[in-house]
Amino acid sequence: MAKQIQHLDRVAIRFAGDSGDGMQLTGDRFASETAILGNDLSTLPNYPAEIRAPSGSLHGVSSFQVHFAAHDVLTPGDSPDVLVAMNPAALRANIADLPPNAEIIVNTDEFTPRNLEKVGYTSNPLENDSLDGYTVHRVPLTTATIAALADLDVSKKDAERAKNMFALGLLSWMYSRSTEGTVEFLKQKFAKKPKLAAANVAAFQAGWNYGETTEDFAVRYEVKPAQLAPGTYRSVNGNTALAYGLAAAGLRAHLPVFLGAYPITPASEILHELSAFKRFGVTTFQAEDEIAAVGSALGASYGGGLGVTSTSGPGLALKTETLGLAVMLELPLVVVNVQRAGPSTGLPTKTEQSDLNIALFGRHGEAPLAVIAARSPADCFYAAVEAARIALTYRMPVILLSDGYLANGSEPWLLPDPADLPDLQVEFATEPNGPDGKFLPYLHDPHTLARPWAVPGTPGLEHRVGGLEKADGTGAVSYVPADHDLMMRLRAARVEAIDVPDLEVEDPSGDARVLVLGWGSTYGPIGAACRKLRERGVSIAQAHLRHIAPMPKNVGAVLAGYDRVVIPEMNLGQLAHVVRERYLVDTVSYNKVNGQPFTSAELETVLEEVVRNA
């Protein structure tokens, strides 16, 4: 029978199942085909903190959401329009996120009394009225897969395991995705096990055919390609993009990159990625602890490389003493903090923006340094390049803030032309710079306030650096009160001397009276909320900070141009505190600290209320 084709502007699909069901792979494949089709998209995985949670349990549910559209996409989607639930746990764990009328595709085979009981269902939701109001497709995914593979030489277990590909085939049919890419992918993935390759391909095709032939699926959807810039793309999550950015910075600086890191969630992937970039001038060192990680990076910078350390909140706390030394030594250092929900161990796999305070202020003495933040997964690349630019040009530690939401979320990234990235080459000191032929290691450049970078191995410039206070110019240890006073003020001035671009404001109507100011990963949900408000004729201006220390020079003037400034943050008001203190603006905070990113819908409501009351 002919299927009806319905055109959609955007869709969010969530694949959910047991940890062992291969949902990440399934979602990732769907996202890849979607990207190649030219839709813009954003994805977000959600997996349990436990490595192997008990099968069929609620906390063992793993999911992957993909949001794709015929226009540009800013977030992975607030709530899924379609849920694929591979078992009762997946249904139970995700049902609350579904809007009314959402489509649910369930694997009926797994709805056994035992599995229902495991997750606390007292009656089968497929048989009572609890799913009224949703469009439920009951598919015997497991038995259909086994039946489809009956003629193949694979064990029943292997056949069962291919059920995720059956689901992928069905969804690929529903949303008119092409099949060639996935077939090719499966052949390559199982190149050494041709029987498994054949089984997975067969399951995938059976899923497609199931949609095509079963009356339950009457409608097929199409989402037209977005108007994306032409060029070569790849899919990146924040951690991957950050690793690419760090390697790119080293290549643009013609310097080796040295990463010292200690494993920590959710930052470890940066270590993994960079450890595979030896070919591109990157050396990685898995240190004995967080302190050694930053220490070794500082040692590498002292030796004339780009020293980098990557971590998450608890690790940053351990590194703070070394950051104080780096401030004193005035050497380049990039510190990546992929924030997670704290304090202490907190919620290691959940996201938060609660490390702004420690980044800005978390050192003893006054030890100012540069702080910047990334706003989207792909933006992590550019944020890393910018962190390196500041570190190398101004010879100081830079903290780059990412977070769990950016680290795990993926989006297509239009690859830049290397020549379009900033030239980060530095000049090492080679000659004495003092009046009497002496070398003055702390003679500061009048514009950048950077001191010469004289690396060991340079004849005639032998000098000693250290954590003791020093005299300006000579760098000799000094306990003279005036020297300390001068150096304290100089270190603060060094941060303010960093040249950063002005804060840009997006205010398409030009008559907004309310500005929403954000930083970091809230860019997507804030942008999506503003877009929805504007579609409804509500004027609102949006500005997003990349540089937090130093602030762009025009921030005060920008804020003064609005009746109300709203600051949404995934913390209890850390940026708001800084802005209120610095600019004496009575900001309105909206805070969320439940480990989850903002949804654009909640921000839309909050912002509209502020606009109405402004």
Q: Which of residues 208-237 bind another protein (CB under 8 A)?
A: 225, 228-235
Q: Among 148-156, 200-208, 243-251, 349-357, which window interacts with another protein (CB under 8 A)?
A: 243-251
d(C-alpha 295, C-alpha 370), whole Å: 18
Give the footprint of another protein on residues 403-422 (CB under 8 A).
Answer: 415-416, 418-419, 421
Q: Which residue's CB is nearer to another protein, number 281 or number 473?
A: 281
Give the footprint of another protein on residues 565-594 (CB under 8 A).
Answer: none
Give the footprint of another protein on residues 294-323 (CB under 8 A).
Answer: 295-300, 302-305, 307, 321-322
- Work out which of 238, 260, 525, 597 binds another protein, going by CB under 8 A: 260
Instruction: Please report where in the chains the tokens 């804020």 appear, as a residue.
Output: 559
Q: Which residue's CB is nearer to another protein, number 199 or number 226?
A: 226
Contact call for residues 243 and 381 (beta carbons, < 8 A):
no
For residue 311, list its beta bridge partners. 337
Q: Is 291 in the site for another protein (CB under 8 A)?
A: yes
d(C-alpha 103, C-alpha 8), whole Å: 14
For residue 107, list its beta bridge partners. 139
Contact characters 325-354, another protein, x per CB under 8 A? x---x-------------------------
Q: Among 87-95, 98-106, 292-300, 518-526, which window interacts with another protein (CB under 8 A)?
A: 292-300
Contact characters 420-439, another protein, x per CB under 8 A? -x------------------
Q: Minimum Å distance from CB 103 to another protein?
A: 28
Q: Among 203-211, 360-368, 458-466, 601-609, which window interacts with another protein (CB under 8 A)?
A: 458-466
Contact call for residues 341 and 314 (beta carbons, < 8 A):
no
- Work out which of 70, 287, 548, 576 binds another protein, going by CB under 8 A: 287
- Work out which of 11, 31, 35, 359 binds another protein, going by CB under 8 A: 35
Q: Which residue's CB is nearer to another protein, number 82 or number 396?
A: 396
Q: Minimum Å distance from CB 177 to another protein?
A: 13
Q: Minimum Å distance from CB 454 to another protein?
A: 8
Q: Among 28-36, 392-400, 504-512, 518-526, which window interacts with another protein (CB under 8 A)?
A: 28-36
Q: Is 544 in the site for another protein (CB under 8 A)?
A: no
- Work out which of 10, 224, 463, 513 binds another protein, going by CB under 8 A: 463
Give the footprint of another protein on residues 473-512 (CB under 8 A).
Answer: 476-477
Q: Minimum Å distance from CB 306 to another protein?
A: 10
Q: Which long-range contacts (CB under 8 A, 24 or more apart) does 485-488 make?
A: 488/366
- Work out which of 31, 248, 371, 559 binds another protein, going by CB under 8 A: 248
Give the footprint of another protein on residues 147-206 (CB under 8 A).
Answer: none
What Cα–Cα distance (Å) separates residue 333 from each residue in 302, 303, 379, 451, 545? 10, 12, 20, 14, 21
Contact call for residues 274 and 259 (beta carbons, < 8 A):
yes
DSSP three-state, residue 225 = coil
Q: Are strands 547-549 and 370-373 parallel, antiparallel or unpaired?
A: antiparallel
**Which residue type occupies 521?**
S
Q: Minimum Å distance from CB 479 to another protein?
A: 11
**Residue of 90, 422, 393, 97 whose CA lies nearest to 245:** 422
SS (H, E, C) 24-62: HHHHHHHHHHHHHCCCEEEEEEECCCCCCCCCCCHHHEE
Q: Which residue's CB is nearer to another protein, number 194 or number 416?
A: 416
The two three-digit tokens of residue 442, written as one number: 């702390």
Contacts with another protein by CB under 8 A: the residue count is 71
**Which residue type occupies 317?**
A
What Cα–Cα distance (Å) separates residue 228 from each residue in 182, 523, 573? 23, 19, 36
Q: Is 5 in the site for another protein (CB under 8 A)?
A: no
Contacts of residue 452, defined as CB under 8 A and 6 or more positions apart, other chains included, come to: 428, 429, 433, 439, 440, 441, 443
Q: Which residue's CB is nearer to another protein, number 28 or number 569?
A: 28
Q: Which residue's CB is nearer to another protein, number 253 or number 533?
A: 253
**Which residue type occupies 540?**
I
Q: Are strands 219-223 and 306-311 parallel, antiparallel or unpaired?
A: unpaired
Q: Which residue's CB is nearer to another protein, number 264 or number 578?
A: 264
Instruction: Please report where in the chains the tokens 């839709």 appear, as a residue.
Output: 39
- Work out which of 99, 194, 434, 456 binds another protein, going by CB under 8 A: 456
Q: Is 464 in the site for another protein (CB under 8 A)?
A: yes
What Cα–Cα distance (Å) separates residue 65 from each residue in 80, 273, 411, 442? 7, 23, 12, 52
